[in-house]
Amino acid sequence: MSDEDIDYSDIPPLTDEQILSMKPLRELFPELTIQKKLLSVPIFQSEDEEREFWATADSTEYIDWAKAKEVVFPNLKRSSK
């Protein structure tokens, strides 16, 4: 039986409250997630070199975004370049 053959009409839609309370499975069961070996971020000689690298690199091979935290830099000023 394929998914197209299944009748989902008797399943009620999720409420906004249910959707907002959902959590990723990796948060509920961290012991079941597959830990991928991350690559080391290279050391760059210049911002141009770094920009070139990240333009083609997949950041998920270098950074575990599931562990990322939001930060704010209220006093950050534009560089002179």
Domain boundaries, the chain: 3-67
Mean pLDDT of the chain: 89
pLDDT at 53 over 70: yes
For 37, counting Cβ atoms within 10 Å of its Cβ (0-12 exposed, 13-18 middle, 19+ buried), the class is exposed
- Whether 20 has a pLDDT exceeding 90, the answer reads yes
Contacts of 21 (CB under 8 A, 6+ apart): none
pLDDT higher than 70, residue 81: no
Contacts of 26 (CB under 8 A, 6+ apart): 32, 33, 66
Cβ of 54: how many Cβ atoms within 10 Å?
13
> Given a cut of 80, is residue 74 above it in pLDDT?
yes
pLDDT digits (tens, 9 = 90+) for 1-11: 888 899 988 99
As a whole number, mean pLDDT of residues 57-69 equals 91
- Structure-token pair, residue 2: 């394929």
Q: Which amino acid is at 12?
A: P
